[in-house]
Amino acid sequence: MTKEMIVPASAESLAVLKDMFPQEQGFTRVLLPRLGMTSQDVTEGKGKAMKVIQEAGVFFTDNETDELNEEGKKVWAKTYLDSKAISAIILYQRKQLRAYDEATEEYTSSPIYDTDDETVVLFKDKKEIARGTPKELKARPEFKFEKDGKVRSKLEENKILYVLFDGEVYQMNHRGTSMYAYSDYARKVTPPTVLTSIGSEDMEKGSISWTKMIFGVERALNADEVATVIEKVTEIKYAIAAEKAFYAQGDSNVEVIPAKDNF
């Protein structure tokens, strides 16, 4: 057969062949950059040599770099914004169960989930250790401890927010008083419809002091911003649906990264 007799296949025919070939089930996990705030002063050194390098209440971003650590994992770089107040659009809210064992320095955590009736998988050291609804998991004896005469669960429920800040989607993880402040705010307003001002407030209880986030409405969104929010939320929901479909296949042998939660 001469070269002149070879007829290239059409794009349509190649697309049909591609659809006919079996594909493995899976999804692409997106690791979003992080947006956060220092809840306490960031210091270096000890004793008289200790100095504050970033005071509490300063916002920062945390981005994945191409640099690898000793374990071969990508290094995340933190950049302080030198600001104690920012403006952002809160696009979406989710939840995650987490616990940290100070004695062993080990994390127990779940993938991020949406509703309290979902079956949630708990991972420790990259292995599944339990599954059930959040309520069922927090009630399990192995996650219980006693403090001040009260029985509590080691598993705490964190709020995970996806926010649009300076044109980029970030993930914000909230726990403790900052989480409660956000929950109070979200009950009064629908966050995706407004530009939210996020600031800080100093807190103190006994000898412990910290800074929590506070939230307020800056203004209503304009038409262009609403269109952008709809586009971003659609992308988020698509990614969530793909991840849940993957977990529905019954394969939970995946790594859950405690410090850098999954999208």
- Tell me, yes or no, whether 223 lies in a domain: yes
Q: Determine what percent of the chain is predicted with pLDDT higher than 70.
A: 86
Q: Which residue has the higher pLDDT, 172 or 260?
A: 172
- Tell me, yes or no, whether 103 lies in a domain: yes
For the chain, what is the mean pLDDT? 85
Q: What whole-number distance in Å separates Cα of residue 169 and Cα of residue 236?
A: 10
Judge whether 219 and 194 are in contact, CB under 8 Å: yes
Residue 140's identity, in one-letter code, is: R
- Tell me, yes or no, whether 175 lies in a domain: yes
Instruction: Give the pLDDT band (50/70/90) at residue 66.
Output: confident
Across the range 105-120, mean pLDDT stands at: 91
- Tell me, yes or no, whether 118 lies in a domain: yes
CB-based contacts of 126, cutoff 8 Å, min separation 6? 255, 256
Q: What whole-number distance in Å separates Cα of residue 215 and Cα of residue 169?
A: 18
- Tell me, yes or no, whether 6 lies in a domain: no
Report how far apart, in Å, the C-alpha atoms of 168 and of each of 27, 42, 199 are: 22, 26, 19
- Which stretches within 72-222 are classed as H helix? 134-138, 176-188
Across the range 100-125, mean pLDDT stands at: 89
Predicted pLDDT at 6: 67
Enclosing domain of residue 80? 31-248
Predicted pLDDT at 252: 46
Judge whether 108 and 155 are in contact, CB under 8 Å: yes
Q: Which residue, 86, 108, 116, is CA-closest to 215?
A: 86
Residue 65's identity, in one-letter code, is: T
- Tens-digit pLDDT profile for residues 164-202: 999 999 999 999 999 999 999 999 999 999 999 999 999
Instruction: Give the pLDDT band (50/70/90) at residue 27.
Output: low
- Tell me, yes or no, whether 84 lies in a domain: yes
- Tell me, yes or no, whether 262 lies in a domain: no
Number of folded domains that form the chain: 1
Q: What whole-number distance in Å separates Cα of residue 159 and Cα of residue 173?
A: 6
Predicted pLDDT at 4: 58
Whether 256 has a pLDDT exceeding 80, the answer reads no
Name the range with the highest mean pLDDT among 33-47, 91-105, 143-157, 190-204.
Answer: 190-204
Predicted pLDDT at 28: 54
- Tell me, yes or no, whether 171 lies in a domain: yes
Q: What whole-number distance in Å separates Cα of residue 119 and Cα of residue 244?
A: 11
Whether 13 has a pLDDT exceeding 60, the answer reads yes
